[in-house]
Protein backbone atom coordinates (compact mmCIF):
# COMPACT_ATOMS: atom_id res chain seq x y z
CA UNK A 1 0.00 0.00 0.00
CA UNK A 2 2.89 2.39 0.74
CA UNK A 3 4.26 1.72 -2.71
CA UNK A 4 0.90 2.60 -4.27
CA UNK A 5 0.76 5.93 -2.37
CA UNK A 6 4.29 6.71 -3.53
CA UNK A 7 3.25 6.12 -7.15
CA UNK A 8 0.36 8.54 -6.71
CA UNK A 9 2.65 11.24 -5.28
CA UNK A 10 5.47 10.72 -7.78
CA UNK A 11 3.91 12.83 -10.61
CA UNK A 12 3.36 15.72 -8.20
CA UNK A 13 6.94 15.58 -7.03
CA UNK A 14 8.21 15.49 -10.58
CA UNK A 15 6.07 18.50 -11.55
CA UNK A 16 7.86 20.72 -9.05
CA UNK A 17 11.36 19.60 -10.02
CA UNK A 18 11.56 21.48 -13.31
CA UNK A 19 12.46 25.05 -12.41
CA UNK A 20 13.98 26.03 -15.76
CA UNK A 21 11.21 24.99 -18.14
CA UNK A 22 11.16 26.86 -21.44
CA UNK A 23 8.15 29.08 -21.83
CA UNK A 24 6.35 28.27 -25.05
CA UNK A 25 4.72 31.32 -26.54
CA UNK A 26 1.34 30.57 -28.08
CA UNK A 27 1.22 33.28 -30.74
CA UNK A 28 0.02 33.29 -34.34
CA UNK A 29 3.48 34.53 -35.37
CA UNK A 30 4.94 31.12 -34.46
CA UNK A 31 3.55 29.71 -37.70
CA UNK A 32 5.56 32.19 -39.79
CA UNK A 33 8.95 31.00 -38.51
CA UNK A 34 10.08 34.61 -38.12
CA UNK A 35 10.35 34.81 -34.34
CA UNK A 36 13.90 34.92 -33.05
CA UNK A 37 17.19 36.51 -34.01
CA UNK A 38 18.53 36.64 -37.58
CA UNK A 39 21.90 37.69 -38.99
CA UNK A 40 22.50 38.90 -42.53
CA UNK A 41 24.32 36.39 -44.71
CA UNK A 42 24.35 37.98 -48.16
CA UNK A 43 23.07 41.01 -50.03
CA UNK A 44 22.44 41.56 -53.73
CA UNK A 45 21.80 45.02 -55.17
CA UNK A 46 20.27 45.32 -58.67
CA UNK A 47 21.33 41.73 -59.36
CA UNK A 48 24.96 42.29 -58.29
CA UNK A 49 26.49 40.81 -55.15
CA UNK A 50 27.46 43.68 -52.85
CA UNK A 51 30.80 42.09 -51.90
CA UNK A 52 32.22 38.65 -51.29
CA UNK A 53 33.36 39.34 -47.74
CA UNK A 54 31.44 37.59 -44.98
CA UNK A 55 28.61 39.72 -43.68
CA UNK A 56 28.33 40.57 -40.04
CA UNK A 57 26.97 42.96 -37.57
CA UNK A 58 23.49 43.33 -39.04
CA UNK A 59 20.96 41.58 -36.85
CA UNK A 60 17.19 41.64 -36.69
CA UNK A 61 15.12 40.14 -33.92
CA UNK A 62 11.42 39.46 -34.26
CA UNK A 63 9.37 39.31 -31.05
CA UNK A 64 5.73 38.83 -30.18
CA UNK A 65 3.49 41.54 -28.83
CA UNK A 66 0.70 41.31 -26.28
CA UNK A 67 -1.91 40.18 -28.84
CA UNK A 68 -1.44 36.48 -29.58
CA UNK A 69 -4.13 36.29 -32.26
CA UNK A 70 -2.69 38.67 -34.86
CA UNK A 71 0.35 38.65 -37.12
CA UNK A 72 1.81 41.81 -35.61
CA UNK A 73 4.93 41.89 -33.47
CA UNK A 74 7.92 43.98 -32.48
CA UNK A 75 11.35 44.03 -34.05
CA UNK A 76 14.80 45.34 -33.14
CA UNK A 77 17.30 45.92 -35.96
CA UNK A 78 20.96 46.38 -35.05
CA UNK A 79 23.56 47.58 -37.54
CA UNK A 80 27.11 47.39 -36.26
CA UNK A 81 26.98 48.19 -32.55
CA UNK A 82 25.98 51.83 -32.71
CA UNK A 83 22.77 51.90 -34.76
CA UNK A 84 19.72 50.28 -33.20
CA UNK A 85 16.25 50.70 -34.67
CA UNK A 86 12.99 49.29 -33.39
CA UNK A 87 9.33 49.30 -34.21
CA UNK A 88 6.47 47.03 -35.10
CA UNK A 89 6.01 44.68 -38.01
CA UNK A 90 2.96 43.16 -39.65
CA UNK A 91 3.03 39.95 -41.67
CA UNK A 92 0.68 39.38 -44.59
CA UNK A 93 0.80 35.68 -45.47
CA UNK A 94 -1.45 36.15 -48.51
CA UNK A 95 1.06 38.40 -50.26
CA UNK A 96 4.21 37.12 -48.44
CA UNK A 97 5.08 40.61 -47.26
CA UNK A 98 6.23 42.19 -44.03
CA UNK A 99 5.43 45.82 -43.30
CA UNK A 100 7.96 47.47 -40.99
CA UNK A 101 6.90 50.55 -39.05
CA UNK A 102 9.85 52.04 -37.20
CA UNK A 103 9.35 54.60 -34.47
CA UNK A 104 9.85 57.43 -37.01
CA UNK A 105 6.50 56.49 -38.63
CA UNK A 106 7.94 55.60 -42.05
CA UNK A 107 6.56 52.42 -43.56
CA UNK A 108 8.67 49.85 -45.42
CA UNK A 109 7.19 46.87 -47.24
CA UNK A 110 9.43 43.87 -47.89
CA UNK A 111 8.62 40.68 -49.73
CA UNK A 112 9.85 37.65 -47.83
CA UNK A 113 10.51 33.97 -48.43
CA UNK A 114 11.27 31.42 -45.72
CA UNK A 115 12.92 28.07 -46.37
CA UNK A 116 11.17 24.86 -45.24
CA UNK A 117 13.07 24.39 -41.98
CA UNK A 118 12.81 28.08 -40.95
CA UNK A 119 16.58 28.69 -40.93
CA UNK A 120 16.95 31.01 -43.92
CA UNK A 121 14.94 34.13 -44.64
CA UNK A 122 15.08 36.19 -47.85
CA UNK A 123 13.89 39.79 -48.10
CA UNK A 124 13.17 41.49 -51.42
CA UNK A 125 12.57 45.23 -51.50
CA UNK A 126 13.23 48.41 -53.44
CA UNK A 127 14.80 51.50 -51.91
CA UNK A 128 15.18 54.70 -53.97
CA UNK A 129 14.76 52.76 -57.21
CA UNK A 130 17.39 50.16 -56.27
CA UNK A 131 16.25 46.56 -55.83
CA UNK A 132 17.71 44.54 -52.96
CA UNK A 133 17.69 40.88 -52.06
CA UNK A 134 19.00 40.02 -48.61
CA UNK A 135 19.48 36.55 -47.19
CA UNK A 136 19.39 36.14 -43.41
CA UNK A 137 20.19 33.09 -41.28
CA UNK A 138 18.59 32.17 -37.97
CA UNK A 139 20.86 32.60 -34.95
CA UNK A 140 18.49 31.60 -32.13
CATH, residue 130:
2.40.128.20
Q: pLDDT digits over 4-49, tens only?
A: 444 444 454 455 555 555 455 678 899 999 999 999 999 999 988 7
Q: Record the pTM.
A: 0.76
DSSP 52: S
Q: Are 109 and 93 in contact (CB under 8 A)?
A: no
The residue among 18, 43, 26, 6 whose CA lies nearest residue 121 is 43
Q: How many domains does the chain have?
A: 1
Q: Are strands 48-49 and 120-127 parallel, antiparallel or unpaired?
A: unpaired
Give the domain extent around 41: 2-138
Amino acid sequence: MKYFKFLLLLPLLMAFQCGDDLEIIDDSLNETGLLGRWEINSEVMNGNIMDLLPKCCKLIEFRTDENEDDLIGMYVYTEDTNNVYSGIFTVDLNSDTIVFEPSNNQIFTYGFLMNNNFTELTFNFTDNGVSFQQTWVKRD
